[in-house]
């Protein structure tokens, strides 16, 4: 959208320069008319620039500004001609962006009327014939004019409709992403409540019993203290997993920034060279995809650092009709490997969205993870 607007502004400037050259070429020997028509066109152009730059604040003033541009463009087209009709099409390209449907209809009708009326009125000036005779004589020209207006109108209105629908989809995706984040955090909160809460209740009960029997049955008290120690460790593991997941989901600054931060931290603590090739389109994927990608890369890098004894890791991430992620190291590899809880958890999340994960490794040939996520 920004690129389209940039190119549109460039085309406008080139057209304005062309219109000025046309006026000068037509009236360079007629100084009073040259000044008049140049002033009229510069007034119209200034009016346009005020609209483009958002200087006209109210809707009513904006509609009046468009109407003024159409009227001035019609006058220039009638009195100067020389393809200044194109200016009316430039103004017409703004009309479909207006939200008020009544204003769109009124301004569009005025614009089409200006193009057709001036075209009809110019025919008699080419000879001593009436308007009706001119219409009959130039019926092909009129038909072509109507066809050109229709084609231009369909094109610009269709483009505006596509942009509006795209914005609706982007807004909906944003809402879905926010709902997904909320749902995931609620799930984590529930896990903490269920697991950690249960462990702490059991811990409290065991400590109460231990306090009551410590003087009478030291062996039983010792056994209960060992259970308490186990419950503390289990609670710490549950809490660690929850915190890890919450950190993993913190992608508010974008996946690319999160991954760069992750790699920067690894580079500060290891001598491993990490080469990455990331597709910018990954930022447009659903939040759940970005969350899974981040988790896979984080787990993959952690495993490489711990077990592979590698000096280099390649990360390739591409997005077309699907997301494809490949992580490969040049480490020692192995003929058999055991999946830890991290990889198992990631596999569950990949399977939930009908994705695919594959591991490739062999003694002395490094370790590779291939992940494919459908869009």
Provide DSSP, 205-258. Answer: HHHHHHHHHTTT-HHHHHHHHHHHHHHHHHHHHHHHHHHHHHHHT--TT-HHHH
Task: Give the chain's mean pLDDT.
Answer: 80
Of 267, 226, 218, 244, the residue nearest 341 (C-alpha):
244
CATH fold of 255-374:
Heat Shock Protein 90 (3.30.565)
Whether 109 has a pLDDT exceeding 80, the answer reads yes
Whether 269 has a pLDDT exceeding 70, the answer reads no
* Mean predicted confidence (pLDDT) in 4-18: 82
pLDDT tens, 52-85?
888 888 888 999 999 999 999 999 888 887 788 8
Domain boundaries, the chain: 2-137, 185-248, 255-374
Please report where in the chains the tokens 């290891």 appear, as a residue. 270
Whether 43 has a pLDDT exceeding 90, the answer reads yes
Please report where in the chains the tokens 């790699």 appear, as a residue. 263
For the entire predicted model, the pTM comes to: 0.50
* Mean predicted confidence (pLDDT) in 288-297: 83
Q: What is the pLDDT of residue 155?
A: 85
What's the rounded Cα separation, in Å, for the pair 298 and 316? 14
Out of 29-38, 89-98, 130-139, 167-176, least confident range: 130-139
90 and 12 in contact (C-beta within 8 Å)?
yes
CATH architecture of the domain covering 185-248: Up-down Bundle (1.20)
Contacting residues for 90 by C-beta, under 8 A, at least 6 apart = 12, 15
Q: What is the pLDDT of residue 123?
A: 56
Our CA dihedral for 27, 32, 34, 38, rounded to 10 degrees, sits at: -160
pLDDT tens, 116-129?
888 777 655 545 55
What's the rounded Cα separation, in Å, for the pair 315 and 97? 43
Structure tokens at 157: 């209105």
pLDDT tens, 305-362?
777 788 888 888 888 888 889 988 888 888 777 777 777 778 888 888 888 888 888 8
Comparing 133 with 217, which gets the higher pLDDT?
217
Helix ranges, the chain (H):
2-27, 31-52, 59-79, 85-92, 101-122, 131-137, 139-191, 197-213, 218-248, 255-269, 287-303, 341-352
Of 178, 133, 149, 140, the residue nearest 287 (C-alpha):
178
What's the rounded Cα separation, in Å, for the pair 78 and 76? 5
What's the rounded Cα separation, in Å, for the pair 286 and 374? 11
Number of H helices, E strands in the chain: 12, 5
């Amino acid at each position: 959208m920004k690129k389209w607007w940039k190119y549109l502004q460039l085309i406008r400037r080139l057209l304005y320069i062309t219109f000025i050259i046309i006026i000068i070429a037509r009236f360079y020997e007629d100084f009073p008319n040259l000044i008049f028509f140049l002033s009229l066109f510069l007034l119209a152009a200034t009016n346009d620039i005020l609209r483009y730059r958002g200087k006209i604040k109210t809707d009513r003033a904006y509609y009046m500004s468009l109407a003024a541009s159409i009227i001035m463009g019609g006058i220039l087209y009638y009195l100067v001609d020389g393809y200044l009709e194109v200016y009316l099409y430039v103004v017409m390209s703004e009309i479909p962006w207006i939200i008020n449907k009544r204003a769109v209809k009124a301004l569009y009708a005025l614009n089409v009327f200006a193009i057709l009326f001036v075209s009809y009125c110019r025919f008699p000036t080419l000879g001593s014939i009436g308007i009706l005779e001119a219409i009959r004589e130039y019926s092909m020209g009129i038909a072509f004019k109507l066809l050109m207006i229709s084609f231009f109108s369909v094109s610009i209105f269709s483009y505006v409709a596509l942009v509006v629908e795209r914005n609706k989809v982007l807004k909906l995706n944003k809402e879905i992403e926010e709902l997904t984040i909320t749902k995931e955090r609620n799930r984590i909160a529930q896990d903490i409540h269920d697991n950690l809460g249960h462990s702490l209740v059991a811990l409290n009960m065991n400590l109460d019993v231990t306090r009551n029997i410590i003087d009478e049955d030291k062996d039983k008290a010792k056994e209960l203290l060992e259970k308490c120690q186990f419950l503390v460790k289990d609670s710490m593991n549950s809490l660690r997993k929850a915190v890890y997941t919450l950190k993993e989901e913190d992608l508010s600054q974008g996946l690319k920034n999160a991954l760069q931060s992750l790699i920067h931290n690894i580079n500060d603590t290891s001598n491993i060279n990490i080469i990455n090739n990331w597709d910018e389109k990954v930022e447009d994927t659903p939040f759940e995809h970005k969350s899974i990608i981040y988790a896979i890369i984080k787990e993959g890098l952690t495993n490489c650092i711990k077990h592979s004894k590698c000096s280099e890791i390649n990360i390739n991430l591409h997005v077309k009709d699907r997301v494809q992620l490949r992580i490969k190291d040049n480490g020692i590899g192995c003929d058999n490997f055991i999946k830890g809880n991290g990889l198992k958890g990631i596999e569950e999340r990949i399977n939930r969205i009908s994705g695919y994960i594959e591991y490739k490794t062999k003694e002395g040939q490094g370790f590779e993870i291939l992940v494919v996520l459908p869009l």
